[in-house]
Amino acid sequence: MAGGGVKKKSFGPLSRLRGKLHVLWQDKHLVLFRADYTLLVVSVLWLLEIGINLWVIQKVAYTEIDWKAYMDEVEGVINGTYDYTQLKGDTGPLVYPAGFVYIFTALYYITGHGVNIRLGQYIFAVFYLITLLLVFRIYCRTKKVPPYVFFFVCCASYRIHSIFVLRLFNDPVAMMLLFGAVNLFLDGRWTLGCGLYSLAVSVKMNVLLFAPGLLFLLLSEFGVIRTIPKLSLCAGIQLLLGLPFLMENPVGYVSRAFDLGRQFMFKWTVNWRFLPEWLFLSRYFHLLLLAAHLLTLLHYLCQVLVLFTSNFIGMCFSRSLHYQFYVWYFHTLPYLLWSGGVKKLAHLLRVLILGLIELSWNTYPSTNYSSAALHVCHLIILLCLWLAPTPASAPADAQGGASVKDKRQ
């Protein structure tokens, strides 16, 4: 009997492993469809992404768009210019908050004053892999999306790889920090999450599109009084980071770093190509979009307004979307599609919508048809979200990173 006991102890873990492998083999045809296997699938895909990024960097030509301008802008700060109205690069004036300056100053020195672009590409490949880890962790926690969809979240998107490792835009840096904040919210670490969220805003203010959803979650969790310190932390970080520039020219810093009225060029628009240029540039059209944005936010606040939904609504009513803006919502699209209230919406149709969105963002220059297709896909997703269960009746999962019911996890 003693020998039998020893045998059980010795072979117990091995038996459990063999049992798990046996179950996995039996369910091999379900691995790509059952959310229970999300961790396994995303782990394999993440490892594949290491090779894919290395291949892209080595085999696909780098395209200069904004990197040199970024380096020129931070070089001005390094040389002692703190007046934001005097900071500019090849593509125009510096229009990003102070966090951008600090992060890209570090990259300026790491890459030999911005000259070693190949090293910059490898750094952005690391940013990409970190972003994927953070995104996959959200999906593993929520288990809403079938694992096969994650192939489209990473390996299949040419545009996203291009934005990260072939263009070196600042948008991926902001989104990496944003997804870090979402993970902290999921863990119930709200103060730290708010701090990281504010850092993301300091890199590029598009992250403010998540703000209505975050405010809703904070009020739901803490109430008005206890939310104030969290908002004060966010504001305090902005003030601290911007202090050198605020002391030099406060109006110049705020008007440049947080320019809500910035005019975009028609030739770069992805979403409004079918409009005449005069209408695209019209301030009345911009005000109409703003009104539609706010009204839609109010409507979805009564349904299921949370982080990813809040950001998505902002994208739908944006005055213009440029190609690098795709990363603002790309990783959240599967979550939104599989969280919608139309349960009978076929998997194939959902994948088709993802494919059409990818095609729209990959059409250069944009056409009337690509812009129209993008709006149709956005409308379908909005309708699905409108039909989604309200927080009171929805299961306790993390809609868009955190829901009211799982906020203490």
377 and 328 share a domain? Answer: yes
Q: How far apart are the first and last CA of the chain?
A: 45
Q: Backbone phi, then psi, for 188, in 5-degree steps? A: 80, 15
245 and 289 share a domain? Answer: no
Q: Is residue 396 part of a domain?
A: no
- End of a domain among 261, 283, 305? 261
- How does pLDDT run across 147-197, given as a tens digit for each residue? 999 998 888 789 999 999 999 999 999 999 999 999 999 999 999 999 999
Cβ-contact 78, 101 below 8 angstroms: no
39 and 184 share a domain? Answer: yes
168 and 306 share a domain? Answer: no
3-state secondary structure of 66: coil
pLDDT at 25: 59
Higher pLDDT among residues 8 and 97, named by residue: 97
> Which percentage of the chain shows pLDDT scores above 90?
75
- How does pLDDT run across 62-98, given as a tens digit for each residue? 999 999 999 999 999 999 999 999 999 988 999 999 9
Q: Is residue 11 part of a domain?
A: no
Q: Is residue 110 part of a domain?
A: yes
pLDDT at 387: 82
Nearest to 152, CA basis, from 381, 374, 353: 353
309 and 378 share a domain? Answer: yes
256 and 267 share a domain? Answer: no
How far is residue 167 from each of residues 56, 72, 143, 221, measured CA to CA in Å? 12, 16, 32, 39
To 10 degrees, the CA torsion angle through 351, 149, 201, 402? Answer: 110
Cβ-contact 208, 201 below 8 angstroms: yes
162 and 71 share a domain? Answer: yes
Nearest to 67, CA basis, from 145, 143, 169, 135: 169
Mean pLDDT of 229-234: 98
Q: Is residue 17 part of a domain?
A: no
pLDDT at 248: 97
Higher pLDDT among residues 341 and 102, named by residue: 102
Q: Is residue 13 part of a domain?
A: no
pLDDT at 262: 83
106 and 177 share a domain? Answer: yes
Q: Is residue 3 part of a domain?
A: no
Count: domains in the chain: 2
- End of a domain among 236, 261, 286? 261
Measure the CA–CA gap between 55 and 53, rounded to whole angstroms: 5
138 and 49 share a domain? Answer: yes
Cis peptide before 13 (omega within 30 of 0): no
pLDDT at 115: 97
User: How would you class 215 by CB atoms within 10 Å of its CB: exposed for 0-12, middle for 13-18, buried for 19 or more?
Assistant: middle
257 and 159 share a domain? Answer: yes
User: How would you class 192 by CB atoms within 10 Å of its CB: exposed for 0-12, middle for 13-18, buried for 19 or more?
Assistant: middle
Task: Confirm whether pTM is higher than 0.95.
Answer: no
372 and 289 share a domain? Answer: yes
pLDDT at 15: 66
Give rounded-to-5 percent helix, strand, coil for the chain. 70, 0, 25
Q: Which domain holds residue 115?
A: 33-261
Cβ-contact 380, 394 below 8 angstroms: no
397 pLDDT exceeds 50?
A: no
Q: What is the DSSP letter of 262?
A: P
- End of a domain among 208, 232, 261? 261
174 and 212 share a domain? Answer: yes
